[in-house]
Amino acid sequence: MNISEAQAELARRADAERRAAEEAQLALKRHITAVADVIRAADTLIAVLSATSSREYAQVVDGVLLQTRQNRHEAFIVMTRLNPDQAWFWTEEWQAKEREADADETAGRTTFHATTEDFLAAIKLRQPAIADA
pLDDT at position 84 is 95
Burial (CB < 10 A; 0-12, 13-18, 19+), residue 42, is buried
pLDDT at position 79 is 96
| Cβ–Cβ under 8 Å, residues 50 and 65 | yes
Handedness of CA 52, 57, 59, 61 (dihedral sign): negative
> Tens of pLDDT along the chain (133 residues)?
899 999 999 999 999 999 999 999 999 999 999 999 999 999 999 999 888 877 778 888 899 999 999 999 999 999 999 999 999 999 999 999 999 999 999 999 998 999 999 999 988 888 866 655 5
Q: Which of 111, 107, 133, 106 is nearest to 122 (CA)?
A: 111
pLDDT at position 27 is 96
Handedness of CA 117, 123, 129, 133 (dihedral sign): negative
pLDDT at position 128 is 65
pTM given for the model: 0.72
